[in-house]
């Protein structure tokens, strides 16, 4: 019998999804790599009481959030259920109303749970999430002197994924960072359904297969043409603007990024988080610093402008970027192996709070329903130098360098360097020591605007 996994349409491919199914839906950020045609088809098919497993829910009428708006979902297992400053979504409204149960999972743990489920591995121990709300109620075991949290393998009934092309055998080929979550999501599913831009006549060259057809049950061609915008990097109030303290301008976000870049040793592999850290890529050209992104690229460079970009190459912030010589693409499981395995030297993240014990809070605030863990918990659980970039005070004028975090923790005692718009601080093992201050400001002013105790002896 000749193998032929091609379905006539996305609607045919999802026609048998019953009520109560668990469905993993791939996609990165708000708009990238989502199986939009399959998602729209599932919305129109109308299956209810679905458990959606996803990194993020996306935006607009073509992505996972459309199923929530259509009241088809009663459970979420996700890395992002909300995003700070994005307004209240349908997911947040229904979670708050008790209509949807939500389980938040760090991004690296999510793909590893799916990979484990697909590989027949029941559970595993990870350093990610130790000492945070994610570890509550789970077994913690000390291995080689380090605490680890027990996480369960995860299987799903269906997976909806996206690829560039497929053949009738179900073999898939990906472009750029497009493979990110696809392999792990597909492997964990009883029935993996792939939406592709092209179905080749014949077969894909074995050397180009990114996911073997044994993991893919159904293939269909994309039918929904979704426009994509060229995202402009945003860093709070604007990359070139600055806040004022005591009537004087602090460093701009661009200047903060430039200062942070100057602190990175060479050679280094470095991961850049969302927001201000993403601007660092514009200040390392010509230096022996290789940028790593958890969505599956090593060796990217500057932000690409609207006239010259590849829509298949974007960073963790969702911004299109150029790639440098020696760059490589890979799936998210491999990406987090690099992080947790100690191959990444420096991690730069944004934050809501950093406290006197060098602990970090950056995924949820009291006004959010749920939150957005993303890959941050995995990034701080490795052996990398953790650098935080944030404004010195929040929008309401409250200290972000506090005695003790009262927002949910991302990681305990994990921060090594903090770059604010007023100062550079380095952890010395007992407290933060100020190394540099923005022009026009004094140590006394920095201390006044900081809740935790600082050592300013080096700049006094």
Catalytic option among 294, 307, 331, 448 = 294
**123-126 and 101-104 as β-strands: parallel, antiparallel, unpaired?**
unpaired
Could you tell me which residues are beta bridge partners of residue 78? Answer: 54, 104
Tell me which residue of 220, 205, 174 sits closest to 11, measured CA to CA: 220
Residues in a beta bridge with 426: 417, 433
Give the separation between CA 323 and CA 51, rounded to whole angstroms.
37
Measured distance CA(167)–CA(206) in Å, rounded: 11
Return d(Cα 104, Cα 454) in angstroms, integer: 34
3-state SS assignment for residue 398: coil
SS3 (DSSP) at 70: coil
State phi, psi for 162 to the nearest 5 degrees. Answer: -130, 140
CA 390, 409, 435, 445 torsion-angle sign: positive
CA atoms within 13 A on the CB side of 335: 33
Would you call 258 a catalytic residue per the annotation? no
Q: What DSSP designation does 299 have?
A: E
For the annotated catalytic residues, the residue numbers are 294
């Amino acid at each position: 019998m000749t193998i032929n996994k091609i379905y006539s349409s996305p609607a045919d491919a999802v026609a048998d999804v019953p009520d109560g199914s668990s469905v993993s839906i791939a996609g990165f950020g708000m708009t990238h790599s989502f199986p939009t045609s399959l998602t729209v088809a599932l919305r129109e098919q109308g299956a209810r009481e679905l458990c959606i497993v996803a990194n993020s829910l996306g935006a607009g009428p073509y992505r996972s959030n459309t199923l929530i708006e259509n009241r088809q979902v009663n459970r979420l297992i996700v890395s992002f259920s909300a995003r700070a400053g994005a307004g209240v979504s349908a997911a947040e409204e229904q979670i708050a109303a008790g209509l949807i149960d939500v389980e938040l999972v760090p991004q690296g743990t999510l793909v590893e749970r799916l990979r484990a489920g697909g590989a027949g591995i029941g559970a595993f121990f990870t350093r990610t999430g130790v000492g945070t709300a994610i570890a509550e109620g789970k077994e913690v075991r000390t291995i080689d002197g380090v605490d680890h949290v027990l996480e369960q393998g995860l299987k799903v009934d269906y997976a909806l994924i996206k690829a560039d092309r497929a053949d009738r055998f179900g073999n898939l080929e990906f472009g750029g960072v497009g493979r990110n979550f696809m392999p792990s999501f597909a492997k964990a599913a009883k029935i993996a359904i792939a939406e592709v831009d092209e179905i080749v006549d014949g077969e894909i060259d074995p050397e180009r297969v990114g996911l073997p057809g044994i993991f893919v049950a159904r293939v269909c061609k994309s039918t929904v043409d979704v426009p994509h915008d060229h995202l402009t990097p945003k860093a709070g109030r604007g990359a070139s603007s600055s806040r004022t303290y005591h009537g004087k301008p602090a460093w701009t976000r661009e200047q903060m990024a430039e200062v942070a870049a100057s602190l990175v040793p060479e050679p280094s592999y470095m991961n850049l988080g969302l927001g201000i850290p993403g601007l660092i890529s514009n200040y390392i050209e010509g230096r022996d610093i290789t940028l790593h992104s958890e969505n599956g690229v090593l060796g990217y460079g500057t932000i690409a402008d609207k006239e010259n970009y590849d829509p298949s190459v974007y960073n963790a912030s969702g911004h299109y970027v150029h790639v440098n010589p020696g760059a490589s693409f890979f799936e998210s499981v491999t990406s987090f192996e690099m992080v947790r395995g100690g191959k990444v030297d420096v991690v730069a993240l944004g934050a809501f709070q950093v406290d006197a014990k060098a602990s970090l809070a950056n995924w949820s605030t009291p006004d959010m329903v749920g939150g957005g863990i993303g890959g941050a918990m995995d990034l701080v659980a490795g052996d990398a130098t953790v650098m935080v970039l944030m404004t010195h005070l929040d929008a309401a004028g409250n200290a972000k360098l506090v005695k003790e975090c009262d927002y949910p923790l991302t990681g305990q005692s994990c921060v090594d360097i903090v770059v604010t718009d007023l100062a550079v601080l380095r952890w010395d093992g007992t407290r933060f020591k100020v190394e540099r201050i923005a022009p026009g400001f004094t140590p006394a002013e920095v201390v006044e605007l900081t809740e935790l105790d600082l050592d300013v002896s080096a700049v006094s």
